Amino acid sequence: MGRIRILSDQVANQIAAGEVVDRPASVVKELLENSLDAGAQRVRVEVEAGGRRLIRISDDGHGMNRDDALLAFERHATSKLRTADDLLSISTLGFRGEALPSIASVARVTLETATGEDPAGTRMEIAGGKILHVDDAALPRGTTIAVADLFFNTPARRKFLRAESTELAHVTALVTHYALVHPEMHFELLSATHTIVSAPPVARTAERIYQIFGKDTLAQLLPVAAELPLARAGLPAPPPWKVDPDEPLRDPGALRLTGFYSKPELQKLNRNSIYIFVNKRLIRDRLLLHAITEAYRNVIPPTSFPVVLLFLEMPPEEVDVNVHPAKTEVRFRQQGLIHDFVRDSLRTALVKARPAAGFLAALDASPAASPSLMPPATSPLPGSPDSEPFAQPDSDPAEFAAPRADAAPFQLTPRLPSPVPGKLPFTAQNFNHPGGWGDQKAWGEAAAALFQPSTLPPAGDCSPNLADLANANPAAETAQVEAEQAAANLNHLGSLRPLGQLRESFILATGEDGLWIIDQHVAHERVLFEKILRDRQVEKVQRQRLLMPMLVELKPWQMIVFARIAEELELNGFEVEPFGPQTLAVKAAPVGLEGAALERMLTEVIEQSSSDSEEPKQNEDLAAMRTRIAASIACHSAIKINTPLDPVRMEWLLLELAKTSHPTSCPHGRPIALLYSWKEIQRAFHRI
């Protein structure tokens, strides 16, 4: 007798469930997606015990008749696909016909559904994949699916479930994602004891962000929108015998991008606050993550990540969604094009907006402490082995279960900036102005009062909680936030009036918007950095001959690294020759770089380049090396802190800074100019 046997449907479904359903949030994902595909306008999700005991999702979509309801739990039963060709242009979220049978094989499921057209609706009970009852029932149009006792018959799976609060956080993240992408719908998420998300329909995504995360988060995000007509379709042209000569040539369509991106001052420690939706499907994608990090290169530190909500729309033929059982990954048919479109659209938006960093936000802007758009523990996509998009798919499940080092306690209401302990050293004697300050003492005290945390408005004023949100008027509030955002940009830098320096390190300046504090070192660094890159492109970097060649000792491995970057250094104004086996002789260097700073710069670049791959493989690596060298030269030649500057120099620096494309942050990502806005000043003095 042969050894091979065909598996029973029940076992096959449980195997499929292993891929598709790994925790309550993945059940919620599948059921929510079904509701969206059914054209629902309102979805209500209820969970008990983090979804382990019960998940119930009700929608007002088109529902199913009795025959369809019975079929829905069969394997490979779907209303969304007919032929293999349909796979090339999927416009629904589901298409595999696997979710319901998989879920029903590992839980006790009750389905209630009605089309609103048939005389009666259908009520069905299924446990462990077996249909227990099917009855007629009087029901309103729509579908309710209750999933109880998840994994009751697969104890091994149950063991991998995490604490209730963690599972609930994953479910919350998921509902939140879908609420963001469908502002026109009504979403509710309820636990046994309270309402977690309540989001009635709104007109725009900005209002939805406000509804869910509050005003503070919205204020730190900027909108982006771009469109690119496609020159050709991503699918290969059909063979000549399949082409109908009478059919007009099809328009290849366009790529459309909308969304929100964070100001450089808002930085995160990981990629968990980057949300990418392709044709309204939430996905994880390395290519687009890379494009986003590229857009922020030299604007935020390389170890930080922005907050980005990206909604990409493209013809369904442009994207293959059939690459992952949980449908969380996709493959683009014109990868390079999409990558560059996202990178360039974001970068252009950043350059154009030139957002000014608020003083208070910047105080709180260390990556770890920035307000959480999403609780980190909730961010992994269900179905993906880890939140880390670059994690190996076969990563150790034990590791998966281990708490993340950066996991913060779950919270949905936006966090307030944490109070700043102590006083800032902002007193009269710290001011230094060549022309004199008038009444220095009074000025100093007023400034000191401004920066006292106790003068901040009471918490309730700036952090609406979710209950209040239901009554608030989001449109009016978002309009106000947007107006404040529009006002606070760096376009006015060039017209600021410098007042003097603070500790010979920071320039204080006034303008229409309020009081500005500019870090003179990083401001100059940004100016030089962009100049070096510009000059480097036309090979016009100014170099100066050193009176005496400077000798730099290197270790043997550093000599190897040097050989690799020598050409790029030369293009940046260096003239360096080996002088003995372990010594370099620097004969010329870019203008402004000399002495100890020159030596430090060279060793720094060699140090950083040593982690690069042997041969710069792609343009990517070359570009990274180029900007790193430019950043290093800029940093070491820029005006230092503790350097007195006269008013003419201060004005010059502000003017030059205004001309740069990213006056927001230095090439290493530190903020350059902070604005204490007129509004904040008035608020702090209780004038508004």
Ligand X SMILES: Nc1ncnc2c1ncn2[C@@H]1O[C@H](COP(=O)(O)OP(=O)(O)OP(=O)(O)O)[C@@H](O)[C@H]1O
Question: Binding to ligand X by residue 99, rule CB under 6 A?
Answer: yes
Q: Candidates 60, 98, 112, 513: give the one binding ligand X (CB under 6 A).
A: 98
Question: Binding to ligand X by residue 30, rule CB under 6 A?
Answer: yes
CB of 158 vs ligand X, minimal distance in Å: 22
CB of 276 vs Mg ion, minimal distance in Å: 21
Q: Candidates 61, 94, 464, 616: give the one binding Mg ion (CB under 5 A).
A: 94
Q: Contact, 660 vs 524, CB < 8 A?
A: no
Among the residue ranges 76-84, 183-191, 250-258, 368-376, the one whose residues contact ligand X (CB under 6 A): 76-84
Q: Which of 26, 62, 13, 20 is nearest to 381 (CA)?
A: 26
CB of 112 vs ligand X, minimal distance in Å: 10
- Nearer to Mg ion among residue 34 and residue 166 (C-beta): 34
Q: Candidates 14, 54, 66, 95: give the one binding ligand X (CB under 6 A).
A: 95
CB of 16 vs ligand X, minimal distance in Å: 9
Residues in CB range of 474: below 8 A, 6 or more apart: 202, 207, 210, 211
Question: Binding to Mg ion by residue 34, rule CB under 5 A?
Answer: yes
- Nearer to ligand X among residue 105 and residue 143 (C-beta): 143
Among the residue ranges 95-103, 292-300, 317-325, 586-594, the one whose residues contact Mg ion (CB under 5 A): 95-103
CB of 88 vs ligand X, minimal distance in Å: 16
CB of 566 vs ligand X, minimal distance in Å: 55
Q: Which of 70, 531, 87, 143 is nearest to 330 (CA)?
A: 87
Up-side HSE of residue 14: CA atoms within 13 Å toward CB? 19
- Nearer to ligand X among residue 34 and residue 664 (C-beta): 34
Task: Provide the sign of the torsion angle of the four alpha carbons 465, 466, 467, 472, taken in this order.
Answer: positive
Question: Binding to Mg ion by residue 99, rule CB under 5 A?
Answer: yes
Question: Binding to ligand X by residue 143, rule CB under 6 A?
Answer: yes
Q: Contact, 114 vs 63, CB < 8 A?
A: yes
- Nearer to ligand X among residue 63 and residue 417 (C-beta): 63
Count of beta carbons in the 10 Å neighbourhood of residue 514: 19
Question: What's the CA gap between 634 and 264, in Å, rounded?
Answer: 20
* R_g (Cα) of the chain, nearest Å: 29
Spell out where 118-244 has E strands.
121-127, 130-137, 142-148, 186-190, 195-199, 221-229
Q: Which of 406, 545, 429, 490 is nearest to 660 (CA)?
A: 490
Up-side HSE of residue 321: CA atoms within 13 Å toward CB? 25
Beta strands 186-190 and 42-48 are parallel
- Nearer to Mg ion among residue 147 and residue 300 (C-beta): 147
- Nearer to ligand X among residue 283 and residue 550 (C-beta): 283
Residue nearest to ligand X (CB): 94
Tokens, residue 68: 């369809």
Count of beta carbons in the 10 Å neighbourhood of residue 125: 15
Among the residue ranges 91-99, 389-397, 577-585, 649-657, the one whose residues contact ligand X (CB under 6 A): 91-99
- Nearer to Mg ion among residue 92 and residue 191 (C-beta): 92
- Nearer to Mg ion among residue 94 and residue 183 (C-beta): 94
Q: Which residue has the tokens 């229409």?
A: 512
Q: Contact, 667 vs 360, CB < 8 A?
A: no
C-alpha separations of 294 from 186, 273, 306, 661 in Å? 35, 16, 11, 15
CB of 380 vs Mg ion, minimal distance in Å: 20
Tokens, residue 61: 């979509």
Among the residue ranges 92-100, 230-238, 356-364, 555-563, the one whose residues contact ligand X (CB under 6 A): 92-100
Q: Which residue has the tokens 């599948």?
A: 30
- Nearer to ligand X among residue 96 and residue 208 (C-beta): 96
Q: Candidates 25, 45, 100, 674: give the one binding ligand X (CB under 6 A).
A: 100
Residues binding ligand X (CB under 6 A): 30, 34-35, 38, 59, 61-64, 72, 77-80, 94-100, 143
Residues binding Mg ion (CB under 5 A): 34, 94, 99
